[in-house]
């Protein structure tokens, strides 16, 4: 039969063809087509023949066509045919489909829907036909039967799509369906239906099938619904990531583990999806704009959803190739800083912590992206690197004006900018570890920034470089050429940068011979450079090499002076270089360094400060170094035993024209000798003695040094100031050459005395004679010190030159203080009595300790041996603190001050020292605070380190200072020491940070602080400020301080009186600290400052509320319960604040800062009230909810207790200003010369009345939005607001009449009228508030 139809079709005999086809039944027709298709013969020709004999003009033809279409669809999807045959059949059917009438198309489309619903699609090829059918149907103008009614083609298509999207889809056919919809013209609504359906199918598909489906969906989004597509994809992968994390946290049982998705598979799928999105964005740029818009909108609502690991990775991938890079990085940077600020904001307030316990941390998310990128996400790495550098550059440490930049390497980084910079470094370090291809790029960029940013602080980049080297020194060997290129520029860098850079690459020097050799070449060139900076760089480099390349046989240094000693690569140097080579290498360097001893003072200084460390790390160099120092000191030492002074000071200076410079820092040289000798005698010498292998020359130099120091000591004690050409009559001004020379001499002599004090004390072994020598040396030092202080006092321009830095080492200071104040040994008593008898010496010892702690606090290290060793510094700090604490608590200042002559008392110096130490420990040694507090508690010395309770230990120390403060307050007025009380309050404030806010001890301390403020009538302004600041800082960690503010505001009101003089106030007082002296401006400004902080918190909460309100996600019920809690908190805070301002605006505050601050604070309050009302207006738009009763009460309170009083207060402010103006006018008449003073008053009045219009505008804005809310909520909120006629301008009828009369009279008579009118204006102005006051009564 098939052959006959083919033959008839070929003969162009339509009638016979039609007859032949009519003779066939439906099943026969189907079998014929199937047979022809399966045999692979002319299927297309047969179908064409059938269509030829079935014209659409006849009903029978249409029906036959439909039968063929239905049969072919099932045949194609059966999977029996070859794909080429399938394409041929579908192609033909698609061509013929457009000729079908509407009802036939409708029937065919319905069949397709049924096939899809039934899940019988196998290869989805027939869907190409479905898209053609739907397109043709949409263009059909006929009315089609649908159910009981009729629809046109477009509406019928819409119904079909709706039915299709509402039905169940077979997961295997989702991709084919998504592809099909791309070819169908869809309206916006239909497209939304389709997209949402496909997104719902994500969870039902296998992970591997997601990327192709995402690709189809993205191509489909070219028609619209981009936001929905992106939101769906991001949300889906965010949920998967969360589930993965939860599964990792909870160890699953075996059968469940089978069901979970493998982590690497998930990450690879995410990486592929990101690639697909980026490739589609290349085709459609507007998709990237939609992505940025989406994450920005989401961030306003819920940052955790907007910036999840997947979306951050996607943004970074998009940023690399597109013009939106700047926009994306700005968004990420603001998100990071905002997240850090939010965390900081929450930590500072217990009130906020209770309302919002969880807070999202974006930094953890970004580091998670770095971790995830290890799974082949190469397209993300460049974005990560760019973001890392962008963060480090945007938030780098700032250089203070004229000062040294604060180092980022120590102390806690608590500021959001510092945390962002730290995050940038972490991103780069982790990316460096994970991604090999980009390592070279990261290293090159870090080194470039170290070189090019020499003018600004680069400590953060050097810190990063150090971390990179520590993490992978062997990896860096392959990149060593980049490091050696950097060495060529060492001569041009600041010395701090050079030292940091060399310390950072030091582990690399141990594993790479080429790097070491290239560094030595550069340093040897630099040592002969004309630039001082280059020579200093050379010295720094050589000292580093000497410290780190040990000669075999050197003693093991148990106390490494550099922090990086233990953590860096433990390479066996002797595998690369034998000991002979190392020794030759070190001696060659020493030879180069000897040349530096004839260069400038700065270069020599670096050598003297570095030799001790070299000696300790490389003891085999001892004899060479000691010989070098001996030959150097001999140039200035005068050996004749009776010659005074013992050293040639004139050899230490050099004149160039009129200017005089220090050439040889003699005191530093002597200091270096003393420390090296002490170390040599205690460490090397005993070892050599034990081996019975004494080398004669070693004994020689040791003996030489001892004799020399002995002789210098004896002669320095005998020397008078005149011997050094220094006495009281000498010129010390820095403007003349002689003065500069005398200053240099004085500082050198004082330094030499200090070095000798340390030397004699250390070798004295508590001998009385030695201690008398120490006191003799101190006498010489003290005389000079007094002269310098006296001269500096007279010449004020010199006051900038502070006390010279002490030469005593931190270790010696701790030993000396312990001996002076805590040594109770019977055998030492007599000799120590010599030193203890001199109060000046005791004061000197404490003040040096104070200077050392200050240096440690500011720079993280001190001068002298072990100054850069954090462990040693910490031990010394603990010892010093023990002594100062004992001295301060044992001997009260009052007892001491009765016998003192001048200068600060020792107790007060001890207290200052303790304050600095507590600050320093929290900054530099936060991890060791438990050990620090343990060391102070002498009673509990043997406790285990593991069970140290920081809160208990801190509370014990706090109690000691509480007692001292109470004693101060209870002492007689003459004995009250304001400076000491202030320091005690600051110490308490610092120690309170160590208390756990949830502990009983914290609550006790807060209660005690409240009690002190309530019971002490303190008139000292500074102490009052300190105490209230302490009270507020404690209170905010316990609960919201609004109740406290209300009591203080009531006290201020009672103390200063009411703006209406006729009103008598009750004389009640909550806090005795609020009195006539402190109420204004001190307490008032502190209360307003704290109220402003509360307002900031409320403002922050309202923003959170608004974002919760606009969140329409599934967790909306949870969000609404959280929103209700936030609303309650906000309204209660604002309600109490209104009562605080209610008191303050009725207070007769003096003109000035209090009035100005209060007016600004009121404007802010109204602005925040307005933003709350706006939030409720928005809430009413979104839902039909009524406004809560609490809000109505708040509005009522603001209308009764704030707005009327604000207008009265404005009138009061204008009155006091008009009084000051009229007073100035009277003065002007008396003295014309005082016009400048009057213009100052005018300017002051203008400045202080400026906030008034702003306040009135804020009130009126508040009332405007109240009217809007009243309309939306159908609740009349304006019934509580009394509109006042008082504004920042007024028209007085009487004044207007008098002005009009003046215009009608002649000019000569104008002046008296003007005077009258001005008096009329004043009387009228004075009367108007009276009307208001009567109304108020």
Checking phi first, is residue 42 left (phi over 0); if not, alpha (psi -120 to 50) or beta? beta
120, 161 contact by CB (below 8 A) = no
**Token pair belonging to 627:** 């010989």
The CA distance from 748 to 662, in Å, is 10
Please name which of 130, 157, 132 lies closest in space to residue 144, comparing C-alpha atoms: 157
Residue 654 backbone phi and psi in degrees, to 5? -140, 135
Residue 555 backbone phi and psi in degrees, to 5? -70, 145
The residues with which 1147 forms a beta bridge, in sequence order, are 1058
966, 1016 contact by CB (below 8 A) = no
Please name which of 58, 152, 38 lies closest in space to residue 99, comparing C-alpha atoms: 58
Helix (H, G, I), strand (E, B) or coil at 151: strand
The CA distance from 1113 to 1101, in Å, is 20
Q: According to the model, what pLDDT value does residue 577 have?
A: 46
The CA distance from 171 to 316, in Å, is 32
The CA distance from 345 to 357, in Å, is 12
Helix (H, G, I), strand (E, B) or coil at 1242: helix
The CA distance from 756 to 717, in Å, is 10
Please name which of 160, 272, 257, 259 lies closest in space to residue 212, comparing C-alpha atoms: 272
The CA distance from 670 to 751, in Å, is 9
The residue written with tokens 């005698």 in the block is: 681
Q: Distances in Å between the alpha carbon of 695 and those of 554, 587, 615, 700?
A: 16, 19, 18, 9
277, 314 contact by CB (below 8 A) = yes
How many residues are recorded in the chain? 1337
- The DSSP H or E segment spanning 1140 is helix 1116-1144
**Token pair belonging to 721:** 């100031």
Please name which of 962, 944, 1041 lies closest in space to residue 1001, comparing C-alpha atoms: 962
1234, 1142 contact by CB (below 8 A) = no
The CA distance from 35 to 15, in Å, is 25
User: Any idea of the CA torsion for 296, 298, 299, 304, to the nearest 10 degrees?
Assistant: -140
Please name which of 1248, 1224, 1247, 1220 lies closest in space to residue 1237, comparing C-alpha atoms: 1224
The residue written with tokens 């971390």 in the block is: 467
Helix (H, G, I), strand (E, B) or coil at 150: strand
HSE on the CB side for 598, CA within 13 Å?
6
**Token pair belonging to 568:** 């860096």
Q: According to the model, what pLDDT value does residue 152 have?
A: 60
DSSP 680: I
Pairing mode of beta strands 149-151, 653-656: unpaired
**Token pair belonging to 151:** 């629809």
1039-1087 confidence digits (pLDDT tens) = 889 999 999 999 999 988 888 887 877 767 889 899 888 888 899 999 9
Q: Where are the beta strands (DSSP E) in 643-793?
A: 653-656, 659-662
Q: According to the model, what pLDDT value does residue 1240 have?
A: 67
Helix (H, G, I), strand (E, B) or coil at 60: helix
The CA distance from 1221 to 542, in Å, is 73
Torsion sign (Cα): 711, 716, 718, 723: positive
How would DSSP label each residue in 613-663?
HHHHH-GGGHHHHHHHHHHHHHTTB---TT-SSSB-SGGGEEEETTEEEE-
* pTM assigned to the model: 0.81
Q: Distances in Å between the alpha carbon of 96 and those of 56, 99, 105, 870, 1005?
A: 10, 6, 11, 87, 91
Torsion sign (Cα): 29, 34, 39, 45: positive
Q: Distances in Å between the alpha carbon of 130 and those of 51, 173, 329, 408, 714?
A: 19, 14, 45, 66, 112
Pairing mode of beta strands 659-662, 653-656: antiparallel
The CA distance from 606 to 1215, in Å, is 68
Residue 659 backbone phi and psi in degrees, to 5? -90, 145
Helix (H, G, I), strand (E, B) or coil at 146: strand
The residues with which 647 forms a beta bridge, in sequence order, are 637
Please name which of 849, 857, 995, 851 lies closest in space to residue 924, comparing C-alpha atoms: 857
Helix (H, G, I), strand (E, B) or coil at 254: helix
Please name which of 129, 102, 104 lies closest in space to residue 115, comparing C-alpha atoms: 129
The residue written with tokens 């440490």 in the block is: 397
Low-confidence ranges of the chain (pLDDT < 50): 253-259, 400-412, 557-577, 694-698, 797-801, 900, 1114, 1233, 1288, 1306-1337
Please name which of 1051, 1028, 1052, 1053 lies closest in space to residue 1041, comparing C-alpha atoms: 1028
Residues 6+ apart with CB under 8 A from 551: 579, 582, 583, 586, 618, 620, 621
Q: How many CB atoms lie within 10 A of CB 929?
A: 18
Q: How many CB atoms lie within 10 A of CB 1193?
A: 13
Q: Distances in Å between the alpha carbon of 1178 and those of 6, 1112, 1164, 1175, 1278?
A: 73, 14, 21, 5, 19
């Amino acid at each position: 039969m098939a052959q006959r139809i083919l033959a008839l079709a070929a003969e162009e005999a339509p009638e016979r063809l039609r007859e032949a086809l009519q003779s066939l039944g439906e099943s026969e027709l189907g079998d014929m087509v199937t047979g022809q298709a399966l045999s692979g013969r002319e299927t297309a020709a047969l179908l064409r023949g059938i269509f030829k004999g079935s014209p659409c003009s006849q009903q029978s033809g249409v029906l036959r066509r439909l039968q063929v279409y239905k049969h072919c669809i099932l045949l194609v999807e059966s999977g029996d045919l070859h794909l080429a045959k399938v394409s041929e059949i579908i192609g033909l059917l698609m061509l013929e489909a457009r000729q079908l009438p509407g009802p036939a198309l409708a029937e065919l489309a319905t069949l397709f829907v049924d096939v899809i619903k039934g899940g019988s699609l196998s290869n989805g090829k027939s869907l190409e036909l479905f898209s053609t059918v739907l397109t043709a149907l949409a263009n059909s103008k006929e009315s089609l039967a649908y159910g009981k009614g009729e629809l046109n083609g477009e509406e019928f298509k819409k119904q079909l799509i709706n039915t299709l999207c509402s039905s169940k889809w077979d997961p295997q056919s989702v991709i084919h369906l998504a592809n099909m919809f791309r070819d169908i013209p869809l309206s916006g609504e239909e497209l939304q239906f389709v997209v949402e359906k496909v997104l719902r199918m994500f969870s039902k598909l296998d992970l591997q099938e997601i990327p192709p489906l995402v690709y189809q969906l993205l191509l489909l989004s070219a028609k619209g619904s981009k936001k929905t597509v992106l939101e769906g994809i991001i949300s889906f992968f965010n949920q998967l990531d969360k589930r993965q994390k939860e599964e990792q946290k909870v160890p699953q049982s075996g059968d469940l583990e089978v069901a979970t998705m493998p982590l690497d598979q998930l990450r690879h799928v995410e990486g592929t999806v990101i690639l697909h999105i980026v490739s589609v964005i290349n085709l459609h740029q507007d998709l990237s704009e939609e992505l940025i818009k989406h994450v920005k909108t989401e961030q306003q609502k819920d940052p955790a959803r907007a910036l999840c690991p997947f979306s951050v990775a996607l943004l970074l991938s998009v940023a690399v190739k597109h013009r939106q890079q700047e926009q994306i990085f700005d968004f990420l940077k603001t998100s990071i800083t905002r997240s850090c600020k939010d965390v900081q904001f929450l930590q500072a307030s217990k009130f906020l912590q209770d309302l919002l316990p969880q807070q999202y941390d974006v930094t953890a998310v970004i580091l998670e992206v770095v971790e995830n990128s290890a799974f082949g996400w190469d397209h993300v790495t460049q974005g990560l690197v760019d973001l890392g550098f962008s963060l480090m550059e945007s938030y780098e440490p700032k250089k203070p004006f004229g000062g040294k930049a604060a180092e980022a390497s120590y102390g806690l980084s608590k500021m959001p900018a510092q945390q962002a910079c730290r995050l940038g470094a972490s991103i780069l370090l982790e990316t460096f570890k994970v991604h090999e291809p980009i390592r070279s790029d990261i290293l090159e960029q870090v080194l470039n920034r170290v070189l090019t940013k020499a003018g600004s602080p680069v400590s953060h980049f050097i810190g990063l470089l150090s971390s990179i080297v520590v993490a992978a020194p062997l990896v860096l060997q392959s990149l060593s050429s980049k490091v050696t290129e950097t060495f060529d520029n060492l001569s041009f860098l600041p010395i701090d940068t050079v030292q940091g850079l060399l310390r950072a690459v030091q582990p690399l020097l141990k594993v790479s011979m080429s790097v070491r050799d290239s560094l030595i070449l550069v340093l040897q060139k630099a040592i002969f450079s004309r630039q001082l900076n280059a020579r200093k760089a050379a010295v720094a480099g050589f000292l580093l090499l000497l410290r780190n390349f040990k000669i075999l046989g050197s003693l093991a240094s148990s106390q490494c002076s550099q922090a990086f000693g233990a953590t860096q690569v433990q390479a066996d140097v002797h595998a690369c270089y034998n000991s002979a080579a190392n020794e030759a290498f070190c001696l060659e360097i020493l030879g180069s360094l000897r040349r530096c001893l004839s260069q400038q003072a700065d270069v020599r200084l670096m050598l003297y400060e570095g030799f001790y460390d070299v000696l300790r790390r490389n003891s085999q160099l001892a004899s060479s170094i000691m010989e070098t120092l001996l030959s150097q000191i001999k140039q200035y030492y005068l050996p004749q035993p009776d010659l005074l002074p013992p050293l040639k000071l004139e050899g230490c200076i050099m004149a160039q024209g009129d200017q005089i410079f220090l050439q040889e820092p003699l005191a530093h040289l002597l200091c270096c000798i003393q420390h090296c000798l002490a170390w040599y005698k205690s460490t090397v010498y005993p070892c050599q003695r034990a081996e019975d292998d004494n080398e004669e020359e070693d004994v020689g130099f040791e003996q030489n040094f001892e004799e020399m120091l002995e002789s210098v000591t004896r002669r320095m004690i005998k020397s008078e100031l005149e011997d050094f050409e220094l006495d009281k009559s000498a010129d010390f001004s820095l403007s003349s050459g002689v003065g500069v020379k005398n200053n240099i001499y004085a500082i050198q002599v004082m330094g030499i005395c200090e070095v000798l004090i340390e030397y004699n004390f250390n070798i004295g072994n508590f001998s009385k004679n030695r201690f008398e020598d120490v006191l003799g040396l101190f006498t010489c030092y003290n005389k000079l010190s007094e002269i310098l202080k006296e001269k500096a006092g007279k010449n004020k321009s010199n006051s900038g030159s502070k006390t010279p830095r002490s030469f005593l080492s931190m270790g010696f200071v701790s030993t000396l203080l312990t001996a002076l104040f805590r040594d109770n040994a019977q055998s030492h008593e007599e000799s120590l009595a010599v030193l203890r008898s001199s109060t000046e010496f005791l004061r000197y010892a404490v003040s040096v300790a104070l200077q050392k702690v200050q240096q440690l606090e500011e720079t993280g290290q001190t001068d002298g041996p072990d100054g850069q060793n954090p462990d040693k510094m910490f031990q010394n700090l603990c010892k010093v603190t023990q002594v100062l604490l004992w001295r301060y608590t044992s001997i009260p200042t009052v007892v001491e001050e009765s016998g003192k002559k001048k200068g600060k008392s020792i107790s007060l110096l001890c207290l200052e020292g303790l304050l600095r130490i507590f600050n320093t420990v929290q900054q530099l040694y936060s991890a060791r605070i438990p050990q620090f507090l343990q060391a102070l508690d002498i009673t509990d010395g043997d406790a285990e380190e593991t069970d140290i309770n920081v809160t208990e230990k801190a509370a014990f120390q706090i109690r000691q200072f509480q007692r001292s403060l109470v004693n101060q307050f209870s002492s007689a007025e003459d004995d009250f020491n304001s400076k000491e009380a202030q320091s005690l309050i600051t110490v308490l404030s610092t120690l309170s940070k160590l208390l756990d806010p949830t502990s009983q001890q914290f609550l006790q301390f807060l209660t005690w602080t409240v009690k002190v403020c309530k019971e002490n009538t303190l008139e000292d302004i500074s102490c009052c400020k300190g105490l209230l600041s302490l009270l507020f800082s404690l209170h905010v960690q316990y609960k919201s301080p609004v109740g406290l503010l209300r009591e203080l505001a009531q006290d201020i009101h009672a103390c200063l009186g009411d703006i209406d003089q006729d009103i008598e106030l009750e004389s009640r007082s909550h806090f005795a600290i609020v009195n006539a002296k402190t109420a204004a401006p001190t307490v008032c400004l502190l209360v307003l400052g704290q109220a402003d902080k509360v307002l900031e918190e409320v403002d922050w909460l309202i923003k959170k509320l608004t974002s919760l309100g606009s969140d329409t996600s599934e967790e909306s019920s949870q969000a609404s319960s959280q929103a209700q809690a936030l609303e309650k908190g906000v309204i209660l805070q604002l309600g109490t604040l209104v009562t605080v301002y209610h008191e303050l605006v009725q207070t007769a505050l003096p003109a000035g800062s209090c009035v100005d601050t209060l007016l600004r604070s009121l404007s802010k309050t109204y602005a925040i009230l307005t933003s709350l009302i706006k939030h409720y207006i928005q809430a009413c738009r979104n839902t039909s909810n009524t406004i809560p009763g609490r809000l109505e009460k708040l509005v009522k309170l603001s209308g009764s207790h704030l707005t009327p009083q604000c207008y009265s207060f404005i009138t009061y402010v204008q009155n006091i200003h008009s009084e000051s103006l009229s007073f100035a006018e009277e003065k002007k008449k008396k003295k014309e010369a005082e016009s400048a003073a009057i213009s100052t008053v005018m300017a002051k009045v203008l400045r202080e009345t400026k906030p008034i219009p702003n306040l009135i505008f804020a009130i009126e804005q508040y009332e405007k939005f109240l009217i809007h809310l009243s309309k939306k909520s159908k609740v009349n909120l304006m019934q509580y607001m009394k509109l006042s006629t008082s504004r920042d301008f007024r028209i007085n009828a009487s004044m207007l009449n008098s002005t009009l009369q003046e215009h009608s009279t002649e000019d000569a008579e104008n002046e008296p009228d003007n005077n009258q009118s001005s008096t009329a204006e004043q009387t009228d102005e004075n009367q108007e508030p009276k009307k208001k006051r009567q109304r108020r009564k």
